Structure formats: structure tokens, C-alpha cells
A and B are shown apart, each in its own frame.
Chain A
Amino acid sequence: DAGITQSPRHKVTETGTPVTLRCHQTENHRYMYWYRQDPGHGLRLIHYSYGVKDTDKGEVSDGYSVSRSKTEDFLLTLESATSSQTSVYFCAIRTADRANTEAFFGQGTRLTVV
């Protein structure tokens, strides 16, 4: 295992409520990512971080915010959850942003918005 823990692993929440997903790593990797995966799609990048307090938007960032106050933790927040945000969320880490650097993924968080 690459030392990545996602919490919670499963969550059911109501439309309009705030939700925070946590990604915790023990590898001290600089780069961290949040993806979502929906049926019929591959993984799509939501937000990423290239250091403490350094974050940027990915392909599908609308409705999501992130924070990284410590190297080991990357939080994904849905300010007001909608049914379209029902998905499986994956966190990933990388040591560097070079083309030959592999990524390691967490086990995923299954979020259902009702």
C-alpha cells in the first residue's frame, strides 16, 4: 500500500448539505489529487495540489473546493451537495510532476447525495 487513506469510505448525505472528504498520506509526497469517477467515464480531475496551500482547478472543479494546510492532508469540500455530485471520489499522490512519475491512488470514497 502507498500509505493513502481516504475517509469516509462511504457517505450518504442530503442535497444542500456541506460535505468534506479527507485524503491522508504518510509518504510526504508533494503532489496530491482529487478525481471523481462516474459510470461511463474514466477518472476526471477535480482539483490538485502542488504543495501546502498551493492548489489549482482541474477539469470538473465547479461546486468543489479544496484545502491543504499540511503536507499529509488534502481535503475536498462540497459546499452544498447536489445529486450530480453522487460519485466515487479517488485521491492520488505523486512524488514529482515529471512525466515518468507514477501516481498512487486511495481506495475511494463512495458518496451518495439524496
Chain B
Amino acid sequence: DAKTTQPNSMESNEEEPVHLPCNHSTISGTDYIHWYRQLPSQGPEYVIHGLTSNVNNRMASLAIAEDRKSSTLILHRATLRDAAVYYCILSGGGADGLTFGKGTHLIIQP
């Protein structure tokens, strides 16, 4: 799977929007962009995924650049429960699953 680059950590305030960036300049045409998050002492949790178009679900929105070399996970109104490590992952398919990087540690200030 192609590699992604994320900031090590970000800080935001409660009830404000959060934009988590991810660069993936070597993405291939068939790679999907997945986001997972890991709350403290828990397993990773699926957040959202997309291919080319922007995507919305109840948890977040995913904005994908036109050239697909970067994407942004948007939490519209952060709460303290959104404090977690967020992983941006490219998936080209295959039985060997997902390759995790170190992710972005999101800190939410009250």
C-alpha cells in the first residue's frame, strides 16, 4: 500500500471544527482513502472512506483533493470524546488488510 503522511499531533478546542490533513502523493488510481481512529485503551474504529468524491457520514466528512494527493478529515464540532489518534490509510485491496502509520494524536481542549 502507498504511504501517507500526517502531522504527529494537533490541538483544537471543544465545539470547534477540526481539519485533520493527510498527504498521499503516491496514491494509485484504485486506492481508497480510509480513516480510522483509536480512542485511549481501545481498538481502532472505522470513521470514513472515499475514492474521489467528498463523503459525509454521521461521524465526519472526508474532503479529497482533485488530484487525490491529499485529503482532509473534518470533524464538524469536536467534543472531548473525539480525542484520539486518527489514522489515514490507503487501501488498494488484497487479503493482507490495512497498513497503519503512526497517525495524528488529536487533543481537544475544553
Residues of A at the B interface (CB closer than 8 Å) are: 31, 33, 35, 40-45, 48, 50, 56, 58, 90, 92, 94, 97-108
Contacts and interface: CB of A to CB of B under 8 A. Distances in A.
A105 B32 CA distance: 19
B100 A42 contact: yes
Nearest to A104: B46
26 contacts: A33-B97, A35-B100, A42-B100, A42-B101, A42-B103, A43-B100, A45-B96, A48-B95, A56-B95, A58-B97, A90-B43, A90-B44, A92-B44, A98-B93, A99-B93, A100-B49, A100-B51, A101-B91, A102-B49, A104-B46, A105-B44, A105-B45, A107-B42, A107-B43, A108-B42, A108-B43
A41 B100 CA distance: 9
Contacts of A106: 43
Nearest to B43: A105
Contacts of A50: 95
B110 interface: no
B97 A94 contact: yes
In terms of DSSP, what is the predominant structure of the interface of chain B? loop
Interface string B68-110: 0000000000000000000100011111111111110000000
Interface size on B, as a range, is 20 to 34
B91 A99 contact: yes
B97 to A, nearest CB: 5
A5 B56 CA distance: 29
A37 to B, nearest CB: 8
A100 B53 CA distance: 13
Contacts of B95: 31, 48, 50, 56, 97
B34 interface: yes
Contacts of B42: 107-108
A48 B96 contact: yes
A103 B31 CA distance: 16
B44 A97 contact: no
